[in-house]
Amino acid sequence: MKRSHRVAAICQILTESPGEVFPLKYFCDMFGAAKSSISEDIAAAREAVSVTELGYIETLPGASGGARYIPDISLEKARKIQHDICRLLQEEGRILGGGFLYTSDIMYNPATVQGMARIFAKKFRESGADYVATIETKGIPVALMTAQFLNLPVIVIRRDTKISEGATVSINYSTGSSERLQRMSISKRAAAPGSKVLIIDDFMRGGGSIKGIEEILYEMDLKVVGKGIAIVDINPQTKKVNDYFPIIHLEAVDEVTRAVRAVPNIDIF
Amino acid sequence: MKRSHRVAAICQILTESPGEVFPLKYFCDMFGAAKSSISEDIAAAREAVSVTELGYIETLPGASGGARYIPDISLEKARKIQHDICRLLQEEGRILGGGFLYTSDIMYNPATVQGMARIFAKKFRESGADYVATIETKGIPVALMTAQFLNLPVIVIRRDTKISEGATVSINYSTGSSERLQRMSISKRAAAPGSKVLIIDDFMRGGGSIKGIEEILYEMDLKVVGKGIAIVDINPQTKKVNDYFPIIHLEAVDEVTRAVRAVPNIDIF
């Protein structure tokens, strides 16, 4: 196999499994080549991918060493993703009763969600998280893809208690302007006590759900190391939580004029 | 930029966005190269990725032409994924009350889910589906990743009616050995009438939920073109639906001996 083909195939293999370490031996066996050749191939692959600004290749020295692909995003591409989401949110006909916005088509579109997840993954790469946690339902796709980019498992907190979760920890929390009482639960098997958790969700208004997630994770002896929320309504201005990272700010949803104003978080990286 | 680097970068870019067509011009602009050179680069990239059995590059001729990456999987790798899942399911301590199995750690692990999605994507690539549909909650990750591989949006059917879904269509359906009545709903905005839908879910026992999904999609004037279920319990032997495609058969869950027997579907491709 030609060297240039090996380099290209290495790019494909690493890109397919972000964050996963591939030992040199993996490629030696696959291509029937010596370690020294594969090392040079990986160096060439690293140089090649550096121009695309989609991600970079890290090499890890030593016996357990190898190479892995770290997805990345440039500020320019992140801005484009933010503007695309704002444009979608401002499309006509999204306003539902009660000032809610229809966002399911955005939050369930793999390509759009991948863009958001790429921003979260870059922001929280150094957070030390062992898990990505979210609450059902609409935050699951963006949490899953963020977790994929960070090579971490996901914890899904349920809004009710399911037999299929085994023993659970539950809390009550209040949400919405009416402070309606709700319940969330998490399987006791979901994570090892003492682990670090990154919270990712699709939407926040007052922050009641996110505060509930923090509380239930605390009950599980888990430490929150970051909070990423795709869309944050700027109202109410006083939130129940601090230190959250929004991708988009929702500035206004006017039920009378049917106008929506969404703006990018300008302070992302 | 060296040709070999361009070829490798093209592999990375295409692999990052499965199914998305990149026009030649995209690469010409990025690398400042002529169309003829980029055509040769793509041909080299196609040859390079063909050895990994992870996916292939398709070239599309004409004015709207370009190249795209189609994820794939060999029978050998699919078998390994199936056996890995069986091994996980047969781990000690998964049996919950009522003969249920704890599977959240499997269904929320991006790497495992990606393996299942790769099998579904290969199986249903020619189905003509416009959407991938699932019902909340545990099937969402595998449905999302299957959709990503097929470059399709996802429809998530809810178990209750949410204000954030706008106008909905709802049905009642019965599930479980006790034929308990449940409700599911779908946003009227979720899909254009007449569209084709691939159903993907994590688990099936009697098939009540899947039958419910078929019914609600029918009410929305949507056509089911395939049904992929990650794990299918062989009991009860009479299911409420036909023509489903399982990755794993669950043959026995013994609450007394605490033994689980899970086997691969031998007839996958």
The per-residue pLDDT for range A90-122, each reduced to its tens digit, is: 999 999 987 889 999 999 999 999 999 999 999
Neighbours of A62 (CB within 10 A): 6
pLDDT, residue A171, reads: 96
pLDDT band at residue B47 under the 50/70/90 scheme: very high
Of the candidates A108, A109, A137, which has its C-beta nearest B137's C-beta?
A: A137
Q: Which residues in chain A have Cβ-Cβ distances shorter than 8 Å to B108?
A: 144, 153-156
Beta bridge partners of B57: B69
Is B98 close to A163, i.e. CB distance below 8 A? yes
Is B51 close to A153, i.e. CB distance below 8 A? no
Angle at B143 between CA B142 and CA B149, to 5 degrees: 90
What is the pLDDT averaged over residues A185-205? 97
Q: Tokens for B24?
A: 């030649």
Query: Contact, A238 vs A204, CB < 8 A?
Result: no
pLDDT, residue B4, reads: 92
β-strands B168-175, B131-135 pairing: unpaired
Query: Contact, B57 vs B69, CB < 8 A?
Result: yes
pLDDT, residue A161, reads: 82
More confident residue, A260 or B178: A260
Q: Residue B76 and residue B184: Cα distance in Å, rounded?
A: 38
Query: Contact, B4 vs A44, CB < 8 A?
Result: yes
3-state DSSP call for residue B123?
A: helix
What is the pLDDT averaged over residues A167-195? 92
pLDDT band at residue A218 under the 50/70/90 scheme: very high
Across chain B, mean pLDDT equals 95
For residue A260, pLDDT beyond 90: yes
What is the pLDDT averaged over residues B169-197? 93
Query: Contact, B225 vs B243, CB < 8 A?
Result: no
User: Rounded to a whole number, what is the distance in Å from the CA of B40 to chain A's nearest CA?
Assistant: 13
Task: Provide the residue type at A29 as one letter.
Answer: D
pLDDT, residue A202, reads: 98
pLDDT, residue B215, reads: 98
**Radius of gyration of chain B, Cα coordinates, nearest whole angstrom:** 21
pLDDT digits (tens, 9 = 90+) for B99-135: 889 999 999 999 999 999 999 999 999 999 999 999 9
Of the candidates B13, B44, B154, which has its C-beta nearest A52's C-beta?
A: B13
Q: Residue A199 and residue A34: Cα distance in Å, rounded?
A: 43
> How many CB pairs (< 8 A) connect A and B?
203
pLDDT, residue A160, reads: 84
Of the candidates A3, A8, A54, which has its C-beta nearest B49's C-beta?
A: A8
Buried b (16+ CB within 10 A) or exposed e, B104-133: bbbbbbbbbbbbbbbbbbbbbeeeebbbbb
Alpha helices, H only, A17-168: 24-31, 35-49, 75-89, 104-107, 110-124, 140-150
pLDDT, residue B268, reads: 95
pLDDT, residue A247, reads: 98
User: Rounded to a whole number, what is the distance in Å from the CA of A36 to chain B's nearest CA?
Assistant: 18
pLDDT digits (tens, 9 = 90+) for A6-15: 999 999 999 9
Neighbours of A144 (CB within 10 A): 29
pTM over 0.90: yes
Is A51 close to B17, i.e. CB distance below 8 A? no
Task: Provide the residue type at A244 as one letter.
Answer: Y
Q: Tokens for B56?
A: 């292939």
Q: Tokens for A80?
A: 């484009």
pLDDT band at residue B97 under the 50/70/90 scheme: confident
pLDDT, residue B197, reads: 98
Is A15 close to B20, i.e. CB distance below 8 A? no
Is A12 close to B48, i.e. CB distance below 8 A? yes
Q: Residue A69 and residue A18: Cα distance in Å, rounded?
A: 5
| Residue at token pair 């899909």 | B191
pLDDT, residue B138, reads: 97
What is the pLDDT averaged over residues A149-163? 93
User: Rounded to a whole number, what is the distance in Å from the CA of B183 to chain A's nearest CA?
Assistant: 15
pLDDT, residue A32, reads: 95
Q: Which residues in chain A have Cβ-Cβ distances shorter than 8 Å to B11?
A: 8-9, 11-12, 15
pLDDT, residue B11, reads: 98
Q: Residue B169 and residue B162: Cα distance in Å, rounded?
A: 11
Select the residue from A3, A5, A70 to test the B interface by mutation, using most B Cβ atoms within 10 A: A5
Query: Contact, A201 vs A233, CB < 8 A?
Result: no
pLDDT, residue B220, reads: 97
Is A158 close to B138, i.e. CB distance below 8 A? no
